[in-house]
Amino acid sequence: MIETKDIKAYGTQAADALLDQLNISRRKPTAHDVEIEIRYCGVCHSDLHTARNEWHGTVYPCVPGHEIVGTVVSVGDHVHKFKVGDTVGVGCMVDSCRECQYCQEGLEQYCEPGMTGTYGSPDKYLGTQTYGGYSESVVVNENYVLSIPENLDLAATAPLLCAGITTYSPLRHWNVGPGKKVGIVGIGGLGHMGIKIAKAMGAHVVAFTTSESKFAEAQRLGADEVVLSKDADQMAAYRGKLHFILDAVSAEHDINAYLSLLRVDGSLALVGAPEQPLPVAAFSVIMGRKSFAGSMIGGIAETQEMLDFCGKHNIVADIEMIDIGQINEAYERLLKGDIKYRFVIDLASLKNNN
Ligand code: NAP
Ligand code: ZN
Ligand code: ZN
């Protein structure tokens, strides 16, 4: 029988309900667990898709949040990697089978029986659902906890746990680096990290945006060139020019327009996960032997590699800090693209809430 403790969280009871304060149970740390007091949690568009059941299958109550940073407050008897007082992170995954081929290869995100998501997955310990980082604390097996580089601003590091790894992993997989021209589509939470990371990897970065206000300043993020994707003439100038495209758009858009910008043998990897299917025309990939691919977050070792890479290159997210009570308003602004570029919740505001 596992002991539990009730804590404060923020979540939603239905797809059309606002997020509000609620209580959830966390297990008390078992032998290999780390208990983390959450200090900051980033707000990913996946939180919104899930809270509003846009991908279907959300179980309520739903407590989102998978860009978690905080402080270790207790550890189980057999924990070796972390000690009380350490600054740590938790991303989108808190467990996996640890035995299948993919887990053994460090691709836990593609675990055959399925990874345990930080929120919205069956909780192997308590038989309920997992609850995410819009909460006071979280208890996670030490193998799924990350070390945070000391030189980085902690709140601005939180978004690396999802937005950072989700862009880093495909950029690495498709060998982005010097001599490569790379397109980043959608300058939101993911896209702005994609620009920074691709630039630090040595690529020539072309950012594509629908927002005039981001057009003006994408170069500050590291883009070598910026394209207003609504302007057909600007788009035409890049036809057949890019080696790789990372598409981080959260809503329906024309994938074929981007496939036409790839060179022969080029690849477009989708990380954005819109609710509706995106039609791909046969000739968009036939002409030029192109690949249309996808990618989901990254494994645990690769997430640590990404954090260390960001530590070395001084890369963090551009953030706007909010209190937990502002989360519903933040979701509305996220939908309008009215955020440069990631909301981060200061969880002290939940702690102080009655
Ligand atoms: P976000 O901050 O809302 O950014 C999405 C960006 O897409 C917006 O900033 C906007 O960029 C662009 N956009 C939005 N609506 C558009 C439209 N109708 N047409 C064209 N462009 C549009 O979201 P995020 O947190 O970065 O997440 C992006 C997507 O990735 C979400 O679907 C999320 O669920 C998904 N995701 C996937 C993974 C994975 O493992 N694959 C991990 C995390 C998130 P501009 O203003 O520059 O046009
Ligand atoms: Zn995410
Ligand atoms: Zn597995």
How confident is the model over 259-280, as pLDDT tens digits? 999 999 999 999 999 999 999 9
Segment 332-353, tens digit of pLDDT = 999 999 999 999 999 999 998 8
Q: Kind and range of the H or E element at 104?
A: helix 101-104
pLDDT, one tens digit per residue, over 232-241 is 999 999 999 9
| Cα 45–Cα 51–Cα 54 angle in degrees, nearest 5 | 75
249 lines ligand 1 (CB under 6 A): yes
Residue 290 DSSP SS3: coil
The finding on whether 333 has its CB within 6 A of some atom of ligand 1 is no
Comparing CA positions, the residue from 195, 174, 197 lying closest to residue 266 is 174
**CA 222 – ligand 1 centroid, Å:** 19
Ligand 1 binding pocket includes 210 (Cβ within 6 Å) = yes
Question: pLDDT band for position 89 (50/70/90)?
Answer: very high
- Rounded mean pLDDT of the chain? 97
Cα atoms found within 13 Å of the Cα of residue 100, Cβ hemisphere only: 14
What is the distance in A from the centroid of ligand 3 to the CA of 117? 13
Q: How far is CA 57 from CA 5, 111, 287, in A?
A: 27, 20, 37
Please give the Cα distance from 252 to 219 (Å, whole number): 25
User: Which residue's CA is the nearest one to ligand 1's atom 40?
Assistant: 296
Cβ–ligand 1 distance for 228 under 6 Å, the answer: no
